[in-house]
Structure 1
Amino acid sequence: MSPISIGVLAIGMSVDAMIASLGRRAAQTRPTFRRAIGTGMVFGIVEMITPLIGWFLGVVASQYIQAFDHWIAFGLLGAVGTHMAWNSLGRHPETPVDGGSATMLALIVTAIGTSLDAMAVGVSLAFLDVNILLIAAAIGAATMVMSTTGMMIGRYLGAQFGRYAEVLGGLALISLGALILHEHLTAATT
């Protein structure tokens, strides 16, 4: 995977965590910078671990499905991207993603909920020749930065911006899946 593809993937996977952080911020009166960093770290760590879990599960299954693994990667990335875009368009612009509960348990559950798509992407990455540790670290770092930023600027941007960012993140994942399929089919014909 090229550095640009890794960057697009990392940002695409981070958008839903940023949206949740925007929602958390909207529901809190005055989050401190320390709380924003803590929220970013929780989202980043969870978002870094889930693609590793998915990748491991995909590696275990890869020997059985190598002939059509590129279609699985395309399908998973396309499904996750479509789901992200569809959900953001179907949500009322003023509805926050997260109800804003400030407990650590609620934060962890929210982080896990927003990272399930990263697990599916991890499964699809198992079928490609990639450095999963580098990709997981990039996803975790991007998620930490975007979640922290979402907490800090959520009051100013509001939920409407979050919807558009989530649509763009979904479209980026769909495009990445299409690129993987195109590269594999092109390599197979040459």
Structure 2
Amino acid sequence: MSELVGEILTLAIMAFALGMDAFSVGLGMGMYKLPLRRIFNIGLMIGLFHVWMPLVGLIAGKYLSEKFGTFATFIGGLLLLVLGVQMVWSTFKKGDEKIITPIGLGLLLFALSVSLDSFSVGLTLGIYGAKTVMVILCFGIVATVQTWAGLLLGRKVRGWLGAYSEALGGAILLGFGLKLLIPFW
């Protein structure tokens, strides 16, 4: 019994650590003018990706090397850079159109960029034989809650900062994307 509790605690801590990027990126993305329904949908989508990506990683972990996990982190960093540049750029443009918005394909790219690191962790957990259901439940629930918290907090900050909030949100995404890419330089 204590072994099961220890494993759940370990997975919860891991899920919290992985969900921090969802919180951080959610904080930046929350500075868009997002209605509560969209915030709800974004949180669910990221939660689903935090279920799907480690599941694929767990399955692939038995067959693939560590290089693929590193590649996933690199792609996630690039996607966050693109989203961040787009948000900062749109602050200085006169029009209100955005290249990427958290709707449709933009939401899928956003969720994918935030969830790629959970693929890498799933890869590692697959090699070590972790319990699949516990991993995906912990990762999915924690990422969803942390995304909602980041988006709602970002929404509050947007009200305080006005027109500059989107630039700040973009800077947060840029910073997080650079953090993921620094090991590659």
TM bucket, shorter chain:
0.5 to 0.7
| Contact 1:10/1:139 (<8 A) preserved | yes
Structure 1 pair 56–129 and aligned structure 2 pair: CA distance change class (3 A): closer
Following the alignment from structure 2 to structure 1, what is the Cα–Cα distance between the partners of residues 24 and 36?
18
1:119 alignment counterpart? 119
Aligned length: 148
1:53 alignment counterpart? 56
1:138 deviates by 0.8
Structure 1 pair 129–146 and aligned structure 2 pair: CA distance change class (3 A): same
Matched to 2:129, the amino acid is D
1:95 deviates by 6.2
* Cα shift readout 1:59-84 (whole Å, capped 9, x = no counterpart): 2x28xx8xxxxxx6xxx69x96xx98
1:21 alignment counterpart? 26
Following the alignment from structure 1 to structure 2, what is the Cα–Cα distance between the partners of residues 108 and 4?
30
1:54 deviates by 0.9
* Cα shift readout 1:60-115 (whole Å, capped 9, x = no counterpart): x28xx8xxxxxx6xxx69x96xx98xx9xxx9xx969xx87142210111101111
Matched ranges for 1:98-177 at <5 A: 101-156=101-156
Matched ranges for 1:10-89 at <5 A: 10-28=15-33, 31-59=34-62, 61=63
Percentage identity across aligned positions? 20
| Contact 2:53/2:115 (<8 A) preserved | yes
Gaps of 5+ in 2: 1-5, 90-98, 158-167, 181-185
Structure 1 pair 146–95 and aligned structure 2 pair: CA distance change class (3 A): farther
Structure 1 pair 127–32 and aligned structure 2 pair: CA distance change class (3 A): same
Using the size of structure 1 for normalisation, the TM-score is 0.61
1:46 deviates by 1.0
RMSD: 3.8
Structure 1 pair 58–102 and aligned structure 2 pair: CA distance change class (3 A): closer
| Contact 1:48/1:137 (<8 A) preserved | yes
Following the alignment from structure 2 to structure 1, what is the Cα–Cα distance between the partners of residues 52 and 118?
9
Following the alignment from structure 2 to structure 1, what is the Cα–Cα distance between the partners of residues 48 and 57?
15
1:20 deviates by 2.1
Structure 1 pair 102–129 and aligned structure 2 pair: CA distance change class (3 A): closer
1:32 deviates by 2.7
Structure 1 pair 128–109 and aligned structure 2 pair: CA distance change class (3 A): same
Following the alignment from structure 1 to structure 2, what is the Cα–Cα distance between the partners of residues 102 and 13?
20
Following the alignment from structure 2 to structure 1, what is the Cα–Cα distance between the partners of residues 131 and 61?
14
Structure 1 pair 95–134 and aligned structure 2 pair: CA distance change class (3 A): farther
Aligned to 2:128, what secondary structure does the other structure show?
coil
